[in-house]
């Protein structure tokens, strides 16, 4: 019996599977990222700041390993926009991916809200004590630009896949949180921040975590163009073809 071949990332027939993967992956990311703050408050500090910021990085690394080949493990509207702006992801597929991410993020926040109420601000990202909104905005822009460069530099086409991408992206998220979380919360992800704000009904700083990652994504794509030039469709497809061949070879073993 011949092994079943992996679905082509460009095949529209499997888009429902990819959107489901984005929803489930984003749920796991947000439930860990926001949940760390919730559990820290619930347990009177048993979860330290270091633990809270490393956990999302580890979760993203794991998600890339188990579903990166399905949807690309974007998990973040800013990342999906970056892949599209870079030319590696069709714009017509952007709304579906973002819809999946929004659904997953809101489901995670609702899960935490049902279990714990709004303790710990429901894990919301807010500017640190004595940190102005513009300072937090600048930090989110810079952090997201670095994240986008890390992702674009290690991805294959529009997918985060393999050991290099998983470790690099997960490590970047953890590293950014270790030093920048006290300033802005180191969100770098609009839905990660919007979901808890929606469920707790406080939008006073939500704009920071929507505008910041989007601007950072634009800058990151611009820097990627400076570093590597224009991405071509042929290059993206060639990278994808190499990946699919490797997957098929592994399946035959």
- The tens-digit pLDDT sequence of the chain (253 residues) is 343 444 567 677 889 999 999 999 999 999 999 999 999 999 999 999 999 999 999 999 999 999 999 999 999 999 999 999 999 999 999 999 999 999 999 999 999 999 999 999 999 999 999 999 999 999 999 999 999 999 999 998 889 888 889 999 999 999 999 999 999 999 999 999 999 999 999 999 999 999 999 999 999 999 999 999 987 643 444 445 555 555 555 555 5
Residue 15 buriedness (CB in 10 A; 0-12 / 13-18 / 19+):
middle
Question: Which residues, 6+ apart, have CB-to-CB distance to 110 below 8 Å?
Answer: 199
What gap in Å lies between CA 237 and CA 251, rounded to an integer?
Answer: 21
Q: What is the DSSP string of 26-47?
A: HHHHHHHHHHHHHHHHHTTSSS
Tell me the H-state helices in the chain: 15-42, 49-71, 77-86, 94-116, 133-154, 162-184, 190-200, 206-228, 233-252
**pLDDT value, residue 234:** 37
| Domain boundary assignment for the chain | 13-252
What gap in Å lies between CA 187 and CA 221, rounded to an integer?
Answer: 18
- C-alpha 173 chain-centroid distance: 9
Residue 25 buriedness (CB in 10 A; 0-12 / 13-18 / 19+):
buried
Vertex 232: Cα angle to 188 and 228 (nearest 5)? 60
**pLDDT value, residue 2:** 41
What gap in Å lies between CA 153 and CA 156, rounded to an integer?
Answer: 9
pTM of the shown model = 0.88
User: What is the third-level CATH fold of 13-252?
Assistant: Glycerol uptake facilitator protein (1.20.1080)
**pLDDT value, residue 246:** 56
Q: Is residue 192 within 8 Å of 30, Cβ to Cβ?
A: yes
Q: In angstroms, what is the C-alpha Rg of the chain?
A: 18
What gap in Å lies between CA 154 and CA 169, rounded to an integer?
Answer: 8
């Amino acid at each position: 019996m011949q092994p079943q071949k992996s679905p082509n990332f460009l095949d529209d027939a499997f888009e429902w599977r990819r959107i489901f993967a984005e929803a489930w992956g984003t749920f796991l990311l947000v439930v860990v990222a926001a949940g760390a703050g919730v559990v820290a408050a619930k347990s009177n500090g048993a979860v330290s700041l270091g633990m809270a910021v490393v956990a999302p990085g580890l979760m993203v690394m794991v998600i890339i390993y188990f579903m990166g080949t399905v949807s690309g493990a974007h998990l973040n509207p800013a990342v999906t926009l970056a892949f599209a702006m870079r030319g590696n992801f069709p714009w017509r597929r952007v709304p579906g991916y973002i819809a999946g991410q929004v659904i997953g993020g809101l489901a995670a926040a609702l899960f935490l809200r049902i279990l714990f109420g709004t303790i710990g601000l429901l894990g919301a990202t807010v500017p640190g004590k004595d940190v102005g909104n513009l300072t937090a905005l600048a930090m989110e822009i810079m952090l997201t630009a670095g994240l986008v460069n890390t992702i674009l530099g290690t991805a294959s086409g529009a997918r985060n896949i393999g050991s290099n991408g998983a470790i690099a992206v997960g490590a970047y998220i953890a590293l950014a949180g270790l030093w920048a979380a006290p300033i802005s919360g180191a969100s770098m992800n609009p839905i990660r921040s919007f979901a808890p704000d929606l469920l707790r009904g406080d939008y006073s700083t939500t704009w920071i975590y929507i505008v910041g990652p989007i601007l950072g994504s634009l800058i990151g794509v611009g820097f990627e163009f400076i570093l590597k030039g224009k991405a071509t469709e042929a290059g993206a497809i060639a990278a994808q073809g190499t990946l699919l061949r490797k997957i098929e070879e592994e399946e035959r073993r």
